[in-house]
Structure 1
Amino acid sequence: MRREALHNPGMTIGWTLHGAGLLSVIGGVVLFYGLFFAPLEYLRSRNTIRARELETTLRELPGERAANERLRGQLKQLESSAEKLRARIPDQPLEAEFFDDLTELAQRADLRISDYRRGETSRSERLSKMNVHLVGNSSYEGICRFVDGLYSLARLVQIEDLEIRAEGASDDYPITMTLLLFYQPTLGTVGDGGNG
Structure 2
Amino acid sequence: MIGQLTGLVGQVENERCIIDVNGVGYVVSASTRTLSVLPRPPEVARVLVETVVREDAIQLFGFATSEERDWFRLLTTVQGVGAKVALAILSVGSAGELLLGINAGDKTTFTRAAGVGPRLAERILTELRNKVAKMPGGGTAAPAMGIVSGPSVENDALLALAGLGFRRAEAWPVLSRVLTENENATLDLAIRLSLKELAR
Instruction: Tell me the TM-score normalised to structure 1 length.
Output: 0.22
TM-score computed with the length of structure 2 as normaliser? 0.21
More helix by share: 1
